[in-house]
């Protein structure tokens, strides 16, 4: 849904409000608790430039970082629950993240595992990417609450304890309220690498928590980093849902267009995810190299609403 710039900035101004921070939280145990969080956050959900109402928050605690997005999806809960209750569908979601090179679902000792290869934003050989093994679980899937987790014990450069949490519950008006959380821990090697990254490539990048006005200032540093990554996964979920009603052969290109259009609508340096153009993902799905992925990236050109040089 289209949102005006004024409405978007009003939304960001509210993100730093005490009520928003107090309402942030981890996993809930019931639909009632998640709906209570919606009631607390409802005044902060006028909409944003990603074309869906959302509130972004982040926490840095010791060696851990967490980003949270609470949002309203314009789809019935039954449709959201069915779509997000599949490990293969989560591979189709994760592959949209700009750093994802490949995603494959394989059996594991604890259930389905998403083997996710992460790398640079530009094309690179898959052998240079880092593999994270996410154990995929559905811990609740009933008439009014869906809870999905993806957990990986370790990642590149000393990072560890990755966790993606998605919870969803129906709203009275027919939409779905979701909470998306992205968490990971950072060891000494990771801290050093992150400091270098934030001092060089990402020195001008920011997140979404608003710190002040005149001119507008947004959170940077490690919290800005985790907010940007959480937003990328949220945009992937939105893009997946948006394309889910299309014919199967049209879905991939539609997801890519949606993800990059929405990313291009984000404010300031938060949208500066990578180089001009739309980079390719080397493979997806069952692990085979799917030429439609690269072909879709090459043929997308510059859809209406996409700024290739988004700053």
Whichever domain contains 157, its CATH number is 3.30.530.20
Does 74 reside within a domain? yes
pLDDT at 212: 75
pLDDT at 252: 95
Q: Quick one: pLDDT band at residue 302, thresholds 50, 70, 90? A: very low
Q: What whole-number percentage of the chain has pLDDT above 70?
A: 69
Q: Higher-confidence residue: 305 or 41?
A: 41
> How confident is the model over 39-59, as a mean pLDDT?
74
Q: Higher-confidence residue: 162 or 192?
A: 162
Q: Which residues fall within 8 angstroms of residue 266, CB to CB, at 6 or more apart?
A: 49, 50, 208, 231, 310
Q: At what angle do helices 291-299 and 248-264 cross, to 10 degrees?
A: 50
Our measurement of the distance from residue 88's CA atom to the centroid of its chain's CA atoms, rounded to an integer in Å, reads 17
> How confident is the model over 109-126, as a mean pLDDT?
89
Q: Quick one: pLDDT band at residue 52, thresholds 50, 70, 90? A: low
pLDDT at 77: 98
Q: Please check the confidence at residue 130 and state whether its pLDDT lies above 60.
A: yes
pLDDT at 273: 47
Would you call 118 helix, strand, or coil by DSSP?
strand
Does 307 reside within a domain? no
Q: Higher-confidence residue: 171 or 47?
A: 171
Does 41 reside within a domain? yes
Most confident of 18-27, 200-209, 251-260, 276-285: 251-260
Q: Please check the confidence at residue 288 and state whether its pLDDT lies above 60.
A: no
Q: Quick one: pLDDT band at residue 264, thresholds 50, 70, 90? A: confident
Q: Please check the confidence at residue 57 and state whether its pLDDT lies above 70.
A: yes
Does 309 reside within a domain? no
pLDDT at 135: 98
Least confident stretch, 1-5, 69-73, 146-150, 269-273 = 1-5
> How confident is the model over 18-28, as a mean pLDDT?
55
Q: Higher-confidence residue: 185 or 77?
A: 77
Using an 8 Å Cβ cutoff, are 95 and 284 in contact?
yes
Does 306 reside within a domain? no
Counted domains in the chain:
1
In eight-state DSSP terms, residue 183 is E
Domain span holding position 88 = 5-299
Does 160 reside within a domain? yes
pLDDT at 162: 94
Does 310 reside within a domain? no
What's the rounded Cα separation, in Å, for the pair 100 and 120?
8
Most confident of 139-148, 183-192, 223-232: 139-148
Does 107 reside within a domain? yes
- pLDDT digits 0-9 by tens, 64-86: 889 999 999 999 999 999 999 99
- pLDDT digits 0-9 by tens, 192-208: 666 666 666 555 677 77
> Based on the number of CB atoms within 10 Å of its own CB, is 105 exposed (0-12), middle (13-18) or buried (19 or more)?
buried
pLDDT at 192: 67
For every residue of 13-72, DSSP letters joined together read HHTTSHHHHHH--S--SSHHHHHHHHHHHGGG-S--TTSS-EEEEEEEETTEEEEEEEEE
What mean pLDDT is reported for the chain?
Answer: 76
pLDDT at 178: 96
Least confident stretch, 17-21, 70-74, 112-116 = 17-21
């Amino acid at each position: 849904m289209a949102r005006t710039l004024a409405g978007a900035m009003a939304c960001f101004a509210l993100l730093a409000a005490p009520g928003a921070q107090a309402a942030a939280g981890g996993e809930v145990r019931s639909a009632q608790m998640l709906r209570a969080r919606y009631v607390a956050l409802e005044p902060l959900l006028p909409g944003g430039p990603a074309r869906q109402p959302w509130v972004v928050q982040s926490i840095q605690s010791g060696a851990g970082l967490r980003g949270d997005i609470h949002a309203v999806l314009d789809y019935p809960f039954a449709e959201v629950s069915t779509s997000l209750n599949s490990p293969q569908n989560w591979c189709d979601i994760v592959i949209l993240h700009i750093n994802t090179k490949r995603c494959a679902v394989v059996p594991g000792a604890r259930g389905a595992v998403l083997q996710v290869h992460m790398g640079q934003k530009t094309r690179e050989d898959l052998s240079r990417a880092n593999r994270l093994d996410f154990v995929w679980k559905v811990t609740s899937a009933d008439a009014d609450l869906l809870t999905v987790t993806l957990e990986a014990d370790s990642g590149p450069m000393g990072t560890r304890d990755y966790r993606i949490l998605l919870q969803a519950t129906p709203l009275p008006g027919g939409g779905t309220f979701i909470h998306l959380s992205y968490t990971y821990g950072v060891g000494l090697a990771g801290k050093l690498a992150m400091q270098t990254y934030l001092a060089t490539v990402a020195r001008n990048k920011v997140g979404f928590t608003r710190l002040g006005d005149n001119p507008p200032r947004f959170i940077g540093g490690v919290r800005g980093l985790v907010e940007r990554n959480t937003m990328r996964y949220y945009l992937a979920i939105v893009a997946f849902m948006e394309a889910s009603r299309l014919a199967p052969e049209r879905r991939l290109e539609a997801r890519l267009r949606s993800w990059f259009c929405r990313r291009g609508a984000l404010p300031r340096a938060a949208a500066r995810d990578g180089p001009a153009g739309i980079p390719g993902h080397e493979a997806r799905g069952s692990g085979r190299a799917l030429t439609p992925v690269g072909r879709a990236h090459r043929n997308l050109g510059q859809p209406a609403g996409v700024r290739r040089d988004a700053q």
